[in-house]
Amino acid sequence: MGTGLLFFAAALGLTVLTAASSAAEHQALVSSEEGAAPAPERSSVDVDLKLGLNGFRIGGRLFGKEGYKGGAWLNGETRPEGFSVDGRVEREGGKSWNFKLNANIDEALRKAMKWWGGGLTDL
């Protein structure tokens, strides 16, 4: 279950990052004639995906005409007792937000089994 969750999170993050960059793809063919609409601002996306045996890392940065606009990173790791996910979202100007989630599923599962079974199990 842990590996499936990691692959799902990685696929979801990659989809979101690539969809954001292709949202304005319809403006790519702009005429260079006089009086025509100006060419759209050039931007690029840098995506980094690393998959390991017990974890993953997905990140991306957005660059605009004036340089770095922002980025986001998500790291995940499985452990014998659960999993952890942490990440960072930052924007132009240095403003950033960090988050971390440690889930000890093993301990919660033991408590649930004890409660559900009426304390008859020795897990």
Tens-digit pLDDT profile for residues 28-87: 444 556 665 555 567 888 899 999 999 999 999 988 888 888 999 999 998 888 889 999
Tens-digit pLDDT profile for residues 19-39: 555 544 444 444 556 665 555
Sheet holding 82-91, edge to edge: 44-51, 55-64, 67-79, 82-91, 96-103
Neighbours of 78 (CB within 10 A): 19
Q: What are the DSSP E strand ranges found in 2-104?
A: 44-51, 55-64, 67-79, 82-91, 96-103
Domain coordinates of the chain in residue numbers?
Answer: 2-21+42-116
The pTM of this model reads 0.53
